[in-house]
């Protein structure tokens, strides 16, 4: 157990070490980490792990909280304060704490940096290596369970930021079959060229939107032609209407997709009717 942690500039006892509940690592998994092995006080693959840390930061466009040399000093000091000679040193950097919003926070938001170090049971590790281990098979679900409203939202954050940088509000994810799954934080709908209201069927592929369910019911009650069936981006661009649903946005029209106007480029009647019905207007 690490007894002293480095947190954003201070060495603090682990039991009182804390970060904000608004930290993006906590809220969006918008965060990276590295782990180095230490044996007889020697750090293994020092440069390899540091290079990967820098790469992970660069890939996510998180500003390095300090330069490599200073980080190494902090890591060594954390090891020293915890008397770690055989174990690991752990570094985690998140995009920092900010009001919850998928898009990146203001550029001056300070990344969160934590460093911990702990001894591991060297005898147990050696014993394991001597006897060998067993493995089992697991299906590769990293991350194919979008039906769970988990905070594993890093891909959503990156897509939403890309949307913002291209002057859009939302991004729609497209799967390996070229079909739209859902938005980064909303369900995706169209009124297709034949006037059929469509949204993808429930499965592991999408979050089972509560607003989606309510809007679907309203549409059925109004005898609209509804199909729970996925659509392509091409179909969406040719659709009469497109819209999103989410707790934060009710039903909101999509008037442009990848630069192409949907319908006449204005919120359409079906969207407006469903929005009004949902809001009880």
Catalytic residues: 149
Phi, psi of 187 (to 5 degrees): -90, 150
Q: How far is the CB of 276 from ligand PDD (least distance, A)?
A: 17
Q: How far is the CB of 170 from ligand PDD (least distance, A)?
A: 10
Q: Following CA atoms 273, 160, 227, 272 in sequence, which dihedral angle do they give, to the nearest 10 degrees? A: 10
Closer CB to ligand PDD, residue 93 or residue 246? Answer: 246
Phi, psi of 280 (to 5 degrees): 75, 25
Q: How far is the CB of 246 from ligand PDD (least distance, A)?
A: 4
Q: How far is the CB of 173 from ligand PDD (least distance, A)?
A: 9
| Nearest C-alpha neighbor of 14 from the set 94, 60, 78 | 78
Closer CB to ligand PDD, residue 178 or residue 248? Answer: 248
Is 187 an interacting residue with respect to ligand PDD (CB under 6 A)?
yes
Residues 224-253 that bind ligand PDD (CB under 6 A): 245-248
Give the one residue of 27, 82, 94, 186 binding ligand PDD; rule: CB under 6 A.
Answer: 186
Cα separations in angstroms, 256 against 2, 78, 171: 52, 52, 11
Alpha carbons 193 and 248: distance in angstroms, whole number: 28
Residue nearest to ligand PDD (CB): 211
Contact 65, 93 (CB under 8 A): yes
For ligand PDD, which stretch binds (CB under 6 A), given 43-51, 131-139, 162-170, 210-218? 210-218
Give the one residue of 207, 239, 253, 254 binding ligand PDD; rule: CB under 6 A.
Answer: 207
Q: How far is the CB of 47 from ligand PDD (least distance, A)?
A: 38
User: What 3-state DSSP class applies to 32?
Assistant: strand
For ligand PDD, which stretch binds (CB under 6 A), given 29-37, 83-91, 126-134, 205-213? 205-213
Contact 88, 34 (CB under 8 A): no
| Nearest C-alpha neighbor of 275 from the set 228, 221, 190, 215 | 215
Count of C-beta atoms within a 10 Å radius of residue 224: 16
CB contact set of 141 (below 8 Å; sequence gap of 6+): none
Task: Tell me the number of residues near ligand PDD by CB under 6 A.
Answer: 13
Closer CB to ligand PDD, residue 30 or residue 182? Answer: 182
Structure tokens at 12: 């603090």
Closer CB to ligand PDD, residue 5 or residue 153? Answer: 153
Is 185 an interacting residue with respect to ligand PDD (CB under 6 A)?
yes
Positive or negative: CA dihedral 96, 98, 103, 104: negative
Residues 94-153 that bind ligand PDD (CB under 6 A): none
Closer CB to ligand PDD, residue 58 or residue 151? Answer: 151
| Nearest C-alpha neighbor of 195 from the set 221, 219, 170, 218 | 219
Closer CB to ligand PDD, residue 193 or residue 210? Answer: 210
Q: How far is the CB of 201 from ligand PDD (least distance, A)?
A: 14
Is 170 an interacting residue with respect to ligand PDD (CB under 6 A)?
no
Task: Give the binding site for ligand PDD (CB under 6 A).
Answer: 182, 185-187, 207, 209-212, 245-248
């Amino acid at each position: 157990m690490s007894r002293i942690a480095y947190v954003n500039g201070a060495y603090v006892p682990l039991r009182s070490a804390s970060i904000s509940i608004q930290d993006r690592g906590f809220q969006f998994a918008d965060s990276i980490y590295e782990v180095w092995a230490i044996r007889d006080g020697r750090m293994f693959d020092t440069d390899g792990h540091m290079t990967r840390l820098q790469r992970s930061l660069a890939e996510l466009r998180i500003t390095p909280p300090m330069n490599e040399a200073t980080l190494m000093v902090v890591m060594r000091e954390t090891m020293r304060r915890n008397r770690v000679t055989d174990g690991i040193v752990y570094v985690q950097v998140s995009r920092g704490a900010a009001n919850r919003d998928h898009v990146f926070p203001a550029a001056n938001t300070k990344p969160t940096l934590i460093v911990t170090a702990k001894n591991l049971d060297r005898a147990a590790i050696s014993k394991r290596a001597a006897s060998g281990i067993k493995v089992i098979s697991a299906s590769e679900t990293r991350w194919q369970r979008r039906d769970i409203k988990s905070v594993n939202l890093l891909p959503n954050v990156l897509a939403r930021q890309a949307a913002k940088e291209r002057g859009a509000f939302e991004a729609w994810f497209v799967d390996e079959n070229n079909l739209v799954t859902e938005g980064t934080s909303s369900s995706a709908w169209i009124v297709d060229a034949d006037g059929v209201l469509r949204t993808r069927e429930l499965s592991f592929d999408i979050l089972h939107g509560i607003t989606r369910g309510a809007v679907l019911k309203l549409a059925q009650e109004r005898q609209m032609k509804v199909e729970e069936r996925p659509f392509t981006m091409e179909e969406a661009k040719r659709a009469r209407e497109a819209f999103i649903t989410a707790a934060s946005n009710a039903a909101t029209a999509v008037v442009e997709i990848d630069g192409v106007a949907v319908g006449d480029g204005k919120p359409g009647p079906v969207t407006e009717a469903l929005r009004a019905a949902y809001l009880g207007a």
